[in-house]
């Protein structure tokens, strides 16, 4: 079963960007967040939508 959500630090690590940038992307509406108490989760679908289609599936490797 694939994950449906990630924590902010996981998305930052996955995309190679900082947490501050993640929150900017949330505020710009490019990433969808779910708040559960003090925990902020990012939907996997919004992370996939942010990536180019050839990278979202993990088929391509960045060099």
Q: Mind listing the pLDDT tens digit of every residue in the chain (63 residues)?
A: 889 999 999 999 999 999 999 999 999 999 999 999 999 999 999 999 998 765 555 544 443
Distance CA 32, CA 59 (A): 24
DSSP type of residue 54:
H
pLDDT at 61: 44
- pTM as predicted: 0.78
Distance CA 54, CA 37 (A): 35
pLDDT at 62: 42
pLDDT at 29: 95
pLDDT at 31: 96
């Amino acid at each position: 079963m694939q994950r449906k959500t990630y924590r902010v630090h996981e998305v930052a690590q996955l995309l190679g960007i900082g947490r501050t940038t993640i929150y900017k992307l949330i505020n710009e509406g490019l990433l969808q967040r779910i708040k559960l108490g003090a925990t902020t989760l990012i939907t996997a679908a919004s992370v996939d939508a942010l990536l180019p289609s050839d990278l979202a599936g993990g088929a391509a490797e960045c060099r």
